[in-house]
């Protein structure tokens, strides 16, 4: 099944749904540096592109999921012409160690990974961005008000599970009636045959996840590097499908944390057709005084896949203003 986790892992592809998107990176370059960094519970894979001691603060980006990988964010390496870009795989997924201990799958522990990486790389000051489930980690990290934080990007963030499900329901209501009926039937104890459910789910994903064909260079990179996600983590923390939250995040509500963010250095981003609806992301941004908001035209949930050039331009300008 093509879930949010799988798509953001960078290893899946959807048929061409909408023409005209930029191609992004032609190839994924080798990293400047790689490391296995100790974090609570094990070691995580970290990839650095660019000079960590350069004149501009580096940026670290947290991938989606839960259970996604850094491969879904490799288009952001384009930023390394101005600053170092740090990508990493959260514990138990990608190229990181896999103790496969669900007791480690907590929001707080995943947030703790960020400071462990910063200390290991000896970075005094950096920008932090997170996308989808990574946006949850950006929210949690920013709410801690770390002295090292220069700028904060919350991309298509999961802020409230209740709101996320409501957004999915709102988008589903715009699908053809037969697709809606199939999706509803697939959530019942006796669902239709799997191919019918998969086809209905793909109709949703084609509109709101990745609206264009993924960059083949990203898929080739993930395959060559053996970057794979963790379906077990996704199911345990989120649930069996994109539309049903039964895992440990089912009651997650980070809305109160918005008040703790420094809005003068915060940017909220969403795609025009994002599963995290732009109206919802805008409402979250309005709760953070002085925060910025950007909507990437033509993009779904996977911003870097759909509109890499536009997404990079938005991030480049924001980071420069907060160096």
Tell me if the bond preceding 207 is cis, omega within 30° of 0: no
**Cα distance between residue 267 and residue 142, in whole Å:** 11
Q: What angle do CA 254, 258, 260 make, to 5 degrees?
A: 115
Of the candidates 99, 158, 148, which has an alpha carbon nearest to the alpha carbon of residue 125? Answer: 148
**Alpha carbon distance 200, 89 (integer Å):** 30
Catalytic center residues? 132, 274, 301
**Cβ within 8 Å of residue 15, ≥6 positions away:** 206, 213
Tokens of residue 231, six digits:
């379906």
Instruction: Give me 49's structure tokens.
Output: 């592109």
Name every residue whose Cβ is closer than 8 Å to that of residue 236 and which is 6 or more positions away in sequence. Answer: 102, 105, 247, 248
CA 83/CA 55 separation, integer angstroms: 8
Return the structure tokens found at 163: 């709101």
Q: What would the 3-class secondary structure string for 237-273 be? A: HCCCECCECCCCCCCCECHHHHHHCCHHHEEEEEECC
Q: How far apart are CA 109 and CA 39, in angstroms?
A: 9
């Amino acid at each position: 099944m093509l879930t949010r986790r799988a798509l953001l892992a960078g290893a899946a592809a959807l048929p061409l749904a909408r023409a005209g998107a930029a191609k992004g990176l032609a190839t994924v370059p080798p990293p400047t540096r790689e490391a296995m960094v100790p974090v609570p519970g094990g070691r995580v894979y970290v990839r650095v592109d660019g000079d960590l001691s350069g004149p501009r603060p580096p940026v670290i980006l947290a991938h989606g999921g839960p259970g996604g990988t850094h491969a879904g964010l490799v288009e952001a390496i384009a930023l390394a012409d101005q600053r170092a870009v740090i990508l990493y795989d959260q514990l138990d997924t990608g190229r990181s160690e896999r103790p496969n201990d669900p007791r480690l799958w907590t929001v707080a522990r995943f947030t703790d990974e960020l400071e462990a990486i910063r200390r290991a790389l000896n970075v005094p000051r950096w920008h932090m961005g997170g996308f989808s489930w990574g946006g949850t980690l950006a929210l949690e990290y920013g709410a801690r008000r770390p002295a090292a934080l220069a700028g904060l990007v919350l991309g298509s963030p999961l802020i409230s599970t209740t709101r996320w499900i409501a957004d999915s329901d709102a988008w589903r209501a715009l699908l053809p009636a037969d697709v809606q009926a199939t999706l509803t039937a697939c959530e019942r104890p006796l669902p239709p045959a799997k191919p019918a459910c998969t086809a209905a789910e793909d109709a949703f994903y084609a509109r709101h996840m990745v609206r264009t064909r993924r960059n083949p260079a990203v898929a080739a990179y993930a395959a060559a590097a053996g970057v794979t996600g963790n379906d077990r983590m996704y199911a345990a923390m989120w649930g069996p499908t994109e539309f049903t939250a039964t895992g440990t995040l089912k009651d997650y509500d980070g809305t109160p944390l918005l008040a703790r963010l420094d809005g003068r250095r915060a940017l909220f981003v969403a795609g025009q057709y994002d599963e995290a609806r732009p109206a919802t992301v805008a409402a979250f941004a309005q709760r953070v005084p002085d925060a910025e908001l950007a909507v990437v035209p033509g993009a779904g949930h996977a911003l870097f896949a759909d509109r890499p050039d536009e997404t990079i331009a938005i991030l480049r300008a924001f980071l420069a203003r907060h160096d």
